[in-house]
Amino acid sequence: MTQDRKTIDPDSRRHAYPDESSRSAQLYRRAHRSIPDGASRSMTLIRPHPIYVASGNGAWVMDVDGHQYLDANNNFTSIILGHADPGVNEAVTERLGKGTAFAMGTEAEIELAELLVERVPSIERIRFCNSGTEAVMGAIKAARAFTGRPMIAKVEGAYHGTYDHAETSLGSSPDTWGNDDAPVSVAYAAGTPRSVAEEVAVLPFNNAAASRSILDRCGDQLAAVLIDTLPSRAGLPDVDVAFLETVFTTARTQGALVIMDEVISLRLGLGGNQGRLGLRPDLTSLGKIIGGGFPVGATGGRADIMDVFASIDGQRAAVPTAGTFSANPVTMVAGFACMNQLTEASFARLEEIGDGIRHGCREVFADHGHDWQITGKGSLFRLHPHRRPIRSYREARLTDGEAKVMAALQRRLLERGVYFSGYGLGCMNLATTDADIAHFVEAVADSLATLD
């Protein structure tokens, strides 16, 4: 079951949510009998019942009840060309006929590696894994092994997947976060050993002076600074050049490495956000779009550092890695078929789509006096139900009341044929048309009118 944008029945976009008699609601009740909370991925849960998808095509998806939605989530930023892209489908279909999993290498792995090494100058060598979480973990382990040091520094509120150290201070709250200039390291998952927080220094995004002192205090214990230059959970704030310069310079003065997390931000340009900002990190973690819609992650960087993954002279590698499905040929051909289609023009169009959404939403807020704002770059944006200037996680973090407003917006948008995240992060794919942008903006305007 797929749908063509031109044949979308406008009636199939409008429906009431929640609907306890819908097939989605029924599936959710059934899921509870075998899966805690009814889903393996908490981010797909929408209360009181999530939406179960039947198919996707281009910029649109259809649920199991036949409702159509403009996809403003794109599997949390992993789809870039559009759903069911013909080029990716052809490559995958051909691969399926030849077998899908072997304890042998494939040429497809080398092809995707070569493409990424060519596109991102700081990536001289690269190794694949199955998720962004693993990619970040691999980069942290590589930095520790290369420097012989235990600590990392990361930005408060920044999401880097679910590896213990990388998720430190992801959910800090005013009760736990401490001073603005010296964020407390707060473990995220219950049961995390106390030593994890002790091994992670937490930086306030865009605060150069405070970050320098925090990094200085780490001294020769610091292996690496892990940084996402457009952190989605910290509100997609614009990054200050002075902050970036401080982080890079201080890390290097101390003999520590810089790991850039481009799991999301690679979708900002051919060379990722490091290309746009003119940065050259030591290591980079990738994921999402490089798998062409299949599970993926990759750690890349300087050749001498990446050698920690190599077994030299028959010795065990300094950082042994495995992964039954790492560099799986289906993912590799899908990733190559996707990434190889992206050109400078693709990124210019993605920017145009994002600008259309940002501009349209700002007009709606101004025309109707809504105290909202929108941040973001390229095809990524985030809606905020307040006007606090956002420079870091502390201003972006939603109060309980604001979180309820965002959840309500998500439900109102569902009723108007837009699939959107529950905390305001939005992402569009290349198949998005100008009519789709207008549909999104109109749905936001209409939804906000019902929330007032």
Ligand X SMILES: Cc1ncc(COP(=O)(O)O)c(C=O)c1O
Contact predicate 49/43, CB 8 Å? no
Q: Which is nearer to ligand X, 227 or 444 (CB)?
A: 227
Q: How far is the CB of 98 from ligand X (least distance, A)?
A: 26
The yes or no reply on residue 281 touching ligand X (CB under 6 A) is: no
**Which stretch, 63-71, 112-120, 167-175, 258-266, contacts ligand X (CB under 6 A)?**
258-266
Q: What is the rounded distance in angstroms from the CA atom of residue 444 to the CA atom of residue 370? A: 11
Name the 3-class secondary structure at 88. helix
Least distance to ligand X from the beta carbon of 136, Å?
A: 5
Token code pair at residue 160: 């880097």
Q: Output phi, psi for 291, to 5 deg.
A: -100, 5
User: Which helix (H) or strand (E) is 30 found in, with range?
Assistant: helix 23-31
Does residue 292 contact residue 301 with C-beta atoms inside 8 Å?
no
Applying CB under 6 A, which of residues 50, 161, 354, 422 lies at the interface with ligand X?
Answer: 161
Site for ligand X in 38-77 (CB under 6 A): 76
* Least spacing, CB of residue 295 vs ligand X, in Å: 7
Query: Per CB under 6 A, which of residues 377..406 are in contact with ligand X?
Result: none
CB of 332 to ligand X, least distance (A): 16
Looking only at residues 330 through 349 of this chain, which bind ligand X when binding is defined by CB under 6 A?
A: none
Among 228, 282, 415, 436, binds ligand X (CB under 6 A): 228
Question: Do 393 and 157 meet the contact criterion of CB atoms below 8 Å apart?
Answer: yes
- Closest CB 180 distance from ligand X, rounded Å: 23
- For residues 297 to 326, the per-residue mask of contacts with ligand X, x marking binding by CB under 6 A and - elsewhere, is x-----------------------------
Instruction: Let me know: does 261 contact 131? Beta carbons within 8 Å.
Output: no
**202 touches 184 (CB < 8 A):** yes
Q: Which stretch binds ligand X (CB under 6 A): 108-116, 155-163, 379-387, 431-439?
A: 155-163
- At residue 131's C-alpha, the angle toward residues 129 and 135, to 5°, is 65
User: Residue from 133, 169, 392, 447 that binds ligand X (CB under 6 A)?
Assistant: 133
**Nearest-approach distance from CB 16 to ligand X, in angstroms:** 30
Which position's Cβ is nearest ligand X? Answer: 132
**Candidate residues 261, 282, 415, 436; the one interacting with ligand X per rule CB under 6 A:** 261
- Site membership for ligand X, residue 132 (CB under 6 A): yes
> Residue 271 Cβ, how far from ligand X at the closest point, in Å?
17
Q: How many CA atoms lie less than 13 Å away from 299 in the CB half-sphere?
A: 26
Tokens at 400, concatenated? 């309980």
Token pair, residue 14, equals 């409008």
Report whether 120 contacts 272 (CB < 8 A). Answer: yes
- Choose which of 70, 136, 142, 251 interacts with ligand X (CB under 6 A): 136
The sign of the CA dihedral 261, 266, 268, 272 is: positive
By DSSP bridging, strand 182-183 and strand 178-179 are antiparallel
Cα–Cα dist 409/423, whole Å: 9
17 vs 159 by CB, closer to ligand X: 159
Q: Which residues bind ligand X (CB under 6 A)?
A: 76, 131-133, 136, 159-161, 228, 232, 261, 263-264, 287, 297
